[in-house]
Amino acid sequence: MHVQKKHTISVFLTLLGIFLLFPAALIATDFNPNFIISDQELQNYNTMNTSDIQAFLQGKGGYLSTLITQDCDGNTKSAAEIIYKAAQESQINPKYLLVKLQKEQSLVTAAEPTQKQLDWATGYGVCDSCSMSDPDIQKFKGFGTQVDRAAGIMRWYYNNVNSESWIMKANTTYQIDGTTVQPANLATAFLYTYTPHLHGNENFWKLWQNWFEQVYPNGSLLKSTHSSDVYILQDGKKRKFKTMTALVTRYNPKMIITIPPSELARYENGADISLPNYSVVRNGSQYYLIDYDFIRPFASADVVRALGYNPDEIVDITSNDIVGYLTGPTITADIKNPLGKLVEAKENKEIYYIINGTYSTLPDKALASAIFPYLTITKGSLKDLEGLNPGTDITLPKDGTLIGITGSNKIYVVEAGKKRHIASEEVFNGLGYNWKNIIWVNQFVGILLPDGEPLYVRIATNTSTPQTTTPTPTPTDSDNANNGGQTSEENPVELMVKTPEDKVSYIGTQFTTDMDAYIIADYTTGKILAGKNIDTVRPMASFVKVMTGYQLLVDGINLNNPTTYNSATQKAAYHNFRIAEGEKILNKDLMSAMLVSSINTPARMLVNRTINQEAAFIKRMNATAKSIGATKTVFTDSYGFDTKNVTTARDYLSIFLTAVKNADMRAYLGAKNYQYDEVLDKDGKPHHYDISSNVLANKSGLPYSIVASKTGFLYESGTGLAMMIERPGDKKQFIVITMGNPEFDETKRFDAPDQLARWTIENL
């Protein structure tokens, strides 16, 4: 392996993947030495959070799932935390690090790795002819350092590709192990720079394909846009249903997902499914019952007759027809219900599945139709269980089942006895799932199903145009991601309003920060305790939405009434709200979308519920602001997209204090997440769910609790965060408002506000 020194440079990167569309090009099924991985994939550092990485490691069952060790800074962390930290700091895909750990030292699956495997986890610093005991490379030793350096060197390659001649480049011909290779992009070139061998990079590619290129989970029903053939994914292979009867006797056709032919072609063919489920078949003198992937032999022909099967419906088959089926329990004369039955006991209302002299409790009635579509629940008694043995396993959803858990806003798909979190609405819709197919189960089922790896959509790739420069950042949250008239040549940081150096001022004890303005106040008294540039007039961005929500409540909006979407009067700039013309949503749910996840269009829907009266509404907002002392504040729209919406930190303190003293506003601004269904659905996607746009709201381990918060972002305003926080010890509450934060990176923009909040808790 060939490596050079690491040079850490902080850079901005755009989030290069959009989880909405299927890949533009079919991923190759054979190793192509000229294209191993795309630049988008290698740099997509937001594919997994710490919990996702931990679930992945646990799923692989290796030692890393329990490893607690030091990171590169000497802090004790789990392996998942170390991988996530390295990925975020170097803005390299954590999936790359997982594959690298496996390729170099088999660490992801190794149950009992040696210390040598851990010390040289990613092979960083060790060349082909080097000894691991070489004194010159001991500084690279240790799991935490190895992971950090493996991510860092990739970022360093991107930053220095044009300044260092030894770094391999795209569209340049090289001889690798006697083979001519011309990397199609930078990512492929960098992989050869790190490991200049064909075999090593082919192993990397195979691991990536096996781990991360099967998008749809086993149990998915798939069909192509160009064919009526339907397939079930099992063990990563697609099995075609030869007849519609074979399909409908096993699965609900409503679960079929239509995908591009190229996507379907990615999966290897498995054995066709031709026999209807629960049909009786005869091979010579032997009778069988088809039970999904099992054939259950009847003890005799007399048993078939005794159970009342129609001789005309028995299908004659050959031995070849049942190749691949597993043999299940024999059906004897004393088995009255070979398919089992569902009984609801009147004493406790529990549902029991009875079969073969055993019974199992169904953990949620909602699962009955999904697991046993051929059975109806019959009324019964606990006496029906007398003489039966309890089953060894509780019946759980089968692969491919979509579930939601009561009280949670997350949606999952079941695979291999685990629930895989579908990462977002975009992923759910991008994969072609239907919201109507979600089965809502109780929290007990959620506990029974352990977490599996989260489900994402592959990002589109471009193999023809390598990326050679670091792009300007693009806001990725739901705040107003506009460019304020910015041209592509302008530096977005330079657009931000800043207080002139000779006008910088502080109140109270000074907190050192690059943020242009902040203010800290006692919630109870409103007294300002500390601040910086609190009278600088600056654009509000999505801070506007707090006044919009408050004014709506002052105006007496009925939160339980629905609003019908009319794009002519209600569509906002930067419209990223999933809604179809004519759909209806309750006002209380639109308030959540506006205030919790900071989406723009819900604000205009609420303001223009029946007619376009936004001008009059904005006039009332300005009057309310003046009445509470916000004399330098001006509102020009209802959601903060216009840079002419301006305020000061001092003014906004009055606005935010006023808002959070309203119980409804405090509840909305304090929500960590939400979910709701449309009152009237037009596009087959009625369910919405999202988390707070404030990353800190869902972060554990903070030395303070967040009572309420609101984010804001325009290039002109910088990133901003208003929070009401509480100190655990004495329950003292503070308002902390930050404005003009020049950190636009979504993963880092909350660091400075968090530091200020911690400082507040410790010092004020």
Superfamily of domain 492-763: DD-peptidase/beta-lactamase superfamily (3.40.710.10)
At 475, is the pLDDT very low, low, confident or very high (cuts 50, 70, 90)? very low
At 493, is the pLDDT very low, low, confident or very high (cuts 50, 70, 90)? low
Query: Residue 422: is its pLDDT beyond 90?
Result: no
Residue 634's pLDDT is: 97
Contact criterion met (CB below 8 Å) for 400 and 415? yes
DSSP states of 441-483: E-HHHHHHS-B---B-PPPP--SSS---SPPPP---SSS----
Q: What is the mean pLDDT of the chain?
A: 86
Query: Residue 457: is its pLDDT beyond 80?
Result: no
DSSP one-letter code for 640:
S
Query: Residue 339: is its pLDDT beyond 90?
Result: no
∠544-550-556 over CA atoms, to 5°? Answer: 140
Residue 225's pLDDT is: 81
* Angle between helix 94-105 and helix 198-212 axes, rounded to 10 deg: 130
Residue 111's pLDDT is: 92
Query: Residue 485: is its pLDDT beyond 60?
Result: no
Q: Cα–Cα distance between 600 and 204 in angstroms, integer?
A: 42
* Angle between helix 186-194 and helix 198-212 axes, rounded to 10 deg: 120
Lowest mean pLDDT: which of 283-297, 383-397, 625-639, 664-678?
383-397
**How big is the chain, counted in residues?**
764
Residue 517's pLDDT is: 97
Tell me the mean pLDDT in the region 107-116: 93
Contact criterion met (CB below 8 Å) for 183 and 168? yes
By percentage, how much of the chain surpasses pLDDT 90? 57
Higher-confidence residue of 695 and 9: namely 695
Q: For 348, list phi and psi in degrees, rounded to 5.
A: -130, 0
Query: Residue 212: is its pLDDT beyond 80?
Result: no
User: Where are the chain's structural domains?
Assistant: 39-212, 221-269, 280-327, 341-390, 402-448, 492-763
Distances from the Cα of 202 to the Cα of 206, 213, 496, angstroms: 6, 15, 46
Strands 418-421 and 411-415: antiparallel
At 465, is the pLDDT very low, low, confident or very high (cuts 50, 70, 90)? very low
What SS3 state is found at 109? coil
Lowest mean pLDDT: which of 10-19, 109-118, 720-729?
10-19
Residue 130's pLDDT is: 64
Q: Cα–Cα distance between 572 and 600 in angstroms, integer?
A: 6
Lowest mean pLDDT: which of 84-93, 305-314, 550-559, 606-615?
305-314
Q: Cα–Cα distance between 202 and 663 in angstroms, integer?
A: 59
Lowest mean pLDDT: which of 41-45, 521-525, 685-689, 743-747?
743-747
DSSP states of 595-639: HTS--SHHHHHHHTSSS--HHHHHHHHHHHHHHTT-TT-B--SSS
Q: Cα–Cα distance between 154 and 194 in angstroms, integer?
A: 8
Tell me the mean pLDDT in the region 257-271: 80
Cβ contacts of 297-300, under 8 Å, gap ≥ 24: 297/327, 297/330, 297/331, 298/330, 298/331, 299/330, 299/331, 299/332, 299/333
Each residue of 76-88: pLDDT tens digit?
Answer: 999 999 999 999 9
Residue 129's pLDDT is: 60
The full 3-state SS of 119-150, as one line of letters, equals: HCCCCCCCCCCCCCCCHHHHHHCCHHHHHHHH
∠678-679-682 over CA atoms, to 5°? Answer: 70
Residue 82's pLDDT is: 96
Residue 458's pLDDT is: 57
Residue 460's pLDDT is: 42
Higher-confidence residue of 584 and 370: namely 584
Higher-confidence residue of 212 and 140: namely 140
Each residue of 597-642: pLDDT tens digit?
Answer: 999 999 999 999 988 899 999 999 999 999 999 999 999 999 999 9
Query: Residue 515: is its pLDDT beyond 80?
Result: yes
Short-list 224, 184, 168, 120, CA closest to 432: 224
